[in-house]
Structure 1
Amino acid sequence: MSELTNLREILRYVPRFRDRAFVIAIDGAVVEDDNFPNLLLDIALLRSLSIRVALVHGAAHQIRRYAAQLNVQPSDIDGTGVTDAETLNIAITAANRVTHEILEGLSVHDLRGACPNAIVAHPAGILSGIDRKFTGRVERVDVPLLATLMEHDIIPVIPPIGCDGVGHSYRLNSDAVAVEIAKSLQAVKLIYLSTEDGVKGPEGVIRQMTVEDADAFLKRNQKDLPAQIVTKLVHAVRAGKDGIERVHIIDGRQEKGLLSEVFSNEGVGTLIYTNEYQSIRPAMKKDIRPIFSLIRQGMQTEELMKRPQAEVERNIADYFVFEVDKNPVACVAMHSYPELGKAEMASIYVDNRHENKGIGGKLIAYVETRAREQGFLELFCLSTQAINYFIQKGGFTLGTPDDLPPSRRESYDKSNRRSQVLIKKLQPPA
């Protein structure tokens, strides 16, 4: 992708993110990776675009190292088990070191940061009959403090340690802290930067999952997933159910991974989203250029018949777009022939970056439902290359040019494309 294309991708998202909060949760291992300076550059870019950023960091990687240096076996690593006094001291030392490295890195890039005592924590208590000792849970987030820092262009850097009101400290799970911070700030995104590419399924990294799908996937596969992916999935699902619309899990060691995930539809990791992330809606005038851009891709491969943009503009009321994160990535049109009780599904096309994700099937089902609701008895379409798809996935059957309405038959003959006619009988809605 060219730098100009990158810039266009970024600018398309900026109005939606300006003055909104991103909560970025960074695993301790990522802070020590060679890519960390590049990550700070990405954060500097976010700030330059008036996106407010709060950083939450873990320290499990550093706790393991410090414990090994002291020849101590820590009672807990990630803030979910039992934290004894010795492990708490190691955790505080490790967390302070990571916090300092982040603040030091922010200074290099002329960014101001501060480590506030914004997390009020209480003991996790006795769970399943086991006293968790110095393992804690987030009781409250000091939102005014964080808001004040961010309003003054200061990035809060929040460690996985919390304090109560009487001078006691507790080890916290950083993934859980990130959720509480994101909820408190009404963040538009929660981004987990780990050492994993994302959530992996049988065919590789799963790019997008609804909250419901992520929850079901976790229940089916928890025992086979890496521990850090399990905790991130658990908290991503909780965040989604608590109102955070977008949760990203990406490899923080990947150069430009943060920007690629935030400012592109396809991303580089796993996005877990609430259901409104994807939607089909009637096209508007502002969609004329995006629709024509999609159709042009189909024309170049001869999947779609050549037509000028003016034709799309004249018939814009017939078009529908499939949005991903409010960006059109697919389109379809439904042309009506009410005197014959027929409707045509036309100009169906999915951006090649979003192929094989079921979008085409959703568009077919959407048009079929609309046609049925409007009382049409038959839906037809023309195809030169996707004939089997419409038959196998859409339930169409082979037809002939004689099945077309007279006006459509005329344009069919003039095109000389010799497309296959496919038809589907419709039953009235129940």
Structure 2
Amino acid sequence: MDLVFPHTFVPWFRSVAPHIHAHRGKTFVVGLSGELIAAGKLESFVQDLALMQAMGIRIVLAHGFRPQLEEQLRLKGQESKFSHGMRITDAVALDCAQEAAGQLRYEIEAAFSLGLPNTPMAGASVSVISGNFVTARPVGIVDGVDFIHTGLVRKIDAMAVRRAIDTGALVMLSPFGFSHTGEAFNLSMEDVATSAAIALKADKLIFVTEVRGILQSIVQDPARAAELEARQHDPDVEIDQELALADARRLLAALPNPLQPTDTAYYLQHAVKASEGGVERVHIIPYKVDGALLMEVFTHDGVGTMIVDEKLESLREAAPDDVGGILQLIEPFEQDGTLVKRSRTEIERDIHQYTVIEHDGVIFGCAALYPFPEASTAEMAALTISPNVQGQGDGERILKRIEQRARAMGLSTLFVLTTRTMHWFIKRGFAPVDPDWLPEARKRSYKWDRRSQVLVKNLK
């Protein structure tokens, strides 16, 4: 064995342990696009799902079959028909959809049955259950267009699905539903996954898709979405790692109606619906990144975009009315020397630099952002979380929002000064530097007797 291996594996394994503990017993609905299967990535994806289930996560898998259905139609000499961003499913298309779904169900079940030695599936025992869990209704006629056998989810039999996952099985939902009269309807994977996540009150809904996530540039300039979407797969173009539900709603309202899955609004509309339906976390991640599912679930930053419902805990930029709440929050930390003392006048002057978290009108977290554009950097100061809620991830949420604000200003680094929380920042990507690194304007106000550690994080 390579002697270096334990020094990298052990710290890494310990670092993911909190995520394993946090997700044990939780219910995740995973929406799998047919493109992943067409790209030959099913086996590795199934291995990752099996690992997640082995860690105690209850999984419902909804699969799509767009490319497989297209192939069946081509073999029959038929062309796909679309309107209003939905497939028109005539009798031939319905027959092709049933063939494609049956073949995929066979492939997925076979992949979960693999148990070769020296693979992640060795020793795994995953029972896959599928059935008539989905009741559908027809789309009907829209603007004079008859969608025939295209449907929408009417109901998910949540009780039956829960009973199945309670036994330790993985439930698989195909994009088909049946009406009360026994008619079959072709559904979209996204509709099935979203409806299942809402019905099950799932802890997460994860779309494994053709897109990397929501591009930061589109969030900042939705009017140019059509132009910017062409750079979806450019690794130099950054995605927005976390998007509040309120921001996601505003972005969706500013985007044109989606016509294809690669349009930003396509998955975003389902993410917003799921969030509004009570799903706390909705993720959009790329299937092209090997291990994307594991990285999104078990690492701090993940690889895609997460939409978060913040209606109970509002993360926002501060307003003048927040001055009193900020003072009350930071005062104990100023008294024990954790924070440098700030006067009410200073906070009133700088109030628009602050980001706060509030719950029912009470502020229990804050931080300030002071830019130094001449040095392409900014300082995050006064990061404070109420002792009553520490350990719940709110410090990380504020840090991410501050990073987003700094990136939006075009800055390349973010720095902090701290005397007691150095390791917290190092764990989140900051690195210590000498105080001489500080921008000249900030160096002049640096208190050498306080001996604060300077830590820097690269934002690019």
Q: TM-score, length-normalised on structure 1? A: 0.67
| CA–CA distance in structure 1, aligned partners of residues 14 and 394 of structure 2 | 13
Q: Is the 8 A contact 2:59 2:170 kept in 1?
A: yes
| Cα distance in 1 for residues equivalent to 2:314 and 2:163 | 34
Contact 1:60–1:78 (CA under 8 A) maintained in structure 2: no
**Which of 105, 127, 131 does residue 99 from structure 1 map onto?**
105
**257, 270, 273: which one aligns with 2:292:** 257
Q: Give how far 1:128 is off.
A: 2.5
List aligned pairs for 1:43-192, cutoff 5 A: 43-76=49-82, 80-108=86-114, 109=121, 110-192=125-207
**Consecutive unaligned residues in structure 1, runs of 5 or more:** 286-290, 292-302, 305-315, 332-349, 362-382, 391-397, 402-411, 420-430
Tell me: CA distance 1:83–1:266, structure 2 relative to 1, closer, same or farther (3 Å).
same
1:375 corresponding residue in structure 2: none
CA deviation string 1:303-335 (max 9, x = no partner): 99xxxxxxxxxxx9997799897264389xxxx
Query: Hey, what's the Cα distance between the residues in 2 that align with 1:389 and 1:39?
Result: 51
Q: Residues 385, 146 of structure 1: CA spacing in aligned structure 2 closer, same or farther, 3 A cutoff?
A: same
Number of residue pairs the alignment of both structures matches: 335
Q: What pairs up with 1:240-251 in 2 under 5 angstroms? A: 240-251=275-286
**Residue number among 232, 236, 245 corresponding to 2:271 in the alignment:** 236
Partner of 2:253: 219
CA contact (8 A) 1:321 1:329 kept: no
Determine the C-alpha separation between the residues in 1 that align with 2:172 and 2:73. Answer: 24
Q: Is the 8 A contact 2:204 2:279 kept in 1?
A: yes
Aligned counterparts of 1:239 and 1:69: Cα–Cα separation in 2: 36
Contact conserved, 1:205 with 1:269, CA < 8 A, in 2?
A: yes
8 Å contact from structure 1 (residues 125, 131) kept in 2: yes
Residue 369 of structure 1 aligns with which residue? none
Residue 146 of structure 1 contacts residue 156 of structure 1 at CA under 8 Å; is this kept in 2? Answer: yes
| Gap change, CA 1:148 and 1:201, over 3 Å in 2 | same
Between the aligned partners of 1:39 and 1:127, the Cα distance in structure 2 is 37
- Give the CA RMSD over aligned residues: 4.1
Matches within 5 A, 1:279-294: none
Per mean C-alpha deviation after superposition, the further-off stretch among 78-87 and 165-174 is 78-87
After TM superposition, the structure 1 = structure 2 runs for residues 369-408 of structure 1, keeping only pairs within 5 Å, are none
- Per the TM alignment, residue 153 of structure 1 is displaced from its structure 2 partner at its CA by 1.3
Structure 1 pair 321–272 and aligned structure 2 pair: CA distance change class (3 A): farther
Contact 1:277–1:326 (8 Å) recurs in 2: no
Q: Match of 1:194, as an amino acid? A: T
Query: 2 CA distance for matches of 1:384 and 1:319?
Result: 32
Compute the displacement of 1:43 (Å): 0.8
* Change over 3 Å in CA distance of 1:415–1:326 after alignment to 2: closer
In 1, Cα distance between equivalents of 2:208 and 2:60: 13
Q: Secondary structure at the match of 1:61?
A: helix
State the Cα distance separating 1:219 from its structure 2 match: 3.3
Q: Which residue of 1 aligns with 2:243?
A: 209
Q: CA deviation at 1:106?
A: 1.1
- Say which of 396, 401, 405 aligns to 1:329: 396
Does residue 403 of structure 2 align to residue 356 of structure 1?
yes
Query: CA separation in 2, counterparts of 1:318 and 1:153?
Result: 38
Quick one: structure 1 residues 249 and 70, their matched pair in 2 at CA, closer, same or farther if it must change by over 3 Å?
Answer: same
DSSP 3-state at the match of 1:272: strand
Q: Which residue of 2 aligns with 1:267?
A: 302
Residue 13, structure 1, aligned to residue 13, structure 2: no
Deviation at 1:18, TM superposition (A): 1.7
The separation in 2 between residues aligned to 1:389 and 1:170, in whole angstroms, is: 66
Cα distance in 2 for residues equivalent to 1:262 and 1:121: 31
Q: Displacement of 1:159 after TM fit? A: 0.7
Which residue of the partner structure matches residue 404 of structure 1?
none
Change (3 A) 1:80 1:324: farther
Shift of 1:137: 1.2
TM-score for both structures, normalised by structure 2 = 0.63
Q: Are residues 60 and 68 of structure 1, via their aligned partners in 2, closer, same or farther at CA, if it must alter by over 3 Å?
A: same
* Aligned mates of 2:391, 2:89 — CA distance in 1: 43
SS class of match (1:197): coil
Deviation (angstroms), 1:129: 3.1
Q: Give CA-to-partner distance per residue, 1:191-244, whole Å, 9 cap, x none.
A: 000122112243432211112222222333447996334321110111111111
Q: Is the 8 A contact 2:258 2:266 kept in 1?
A: no
Question: Residues 209 and 386 of structure 1: is their aligned pair in 2 closer, same or farther, counting only changes over 3 Å?
Answer: farther
Tell me how far 1:388 sits from its aligned partner: 7.9
Structure 1 residue 144: Cα displacement: 1.9
SS of the residue 1:37 aligns to: helix
Q: Quickly say closer, same or farther: Cα 1:30–1:277, change in 2 above 3 A.
A: farther
> For the Cα contact (< 8 Å) 2:137–2:153, is it kept in 1?
yes
CA distance in 1, matches of 2:175, 2:126: 22
The residue type paired with residue 68 of structure 1 is R
The equivalent of 1:196 in structure 2 is: 211
Instruction: State which drifts further: 68-77 or 236-245.
Output: 68-77
Looking at structure 2, the residues matched to 329 and 359 of structure 1 have their Cα atoms a distance apart, in angstroms, of 15
Deviations 1:62-120 (A, max 9, x none): 01111111111133499924211111111111111112111111111331102211001
Q: Which runs of 5+ in 2 are unaligned?
A: 1-6, 115-120, 218-236, 317-325, 334-338, 340-378, 409-434, 455-460
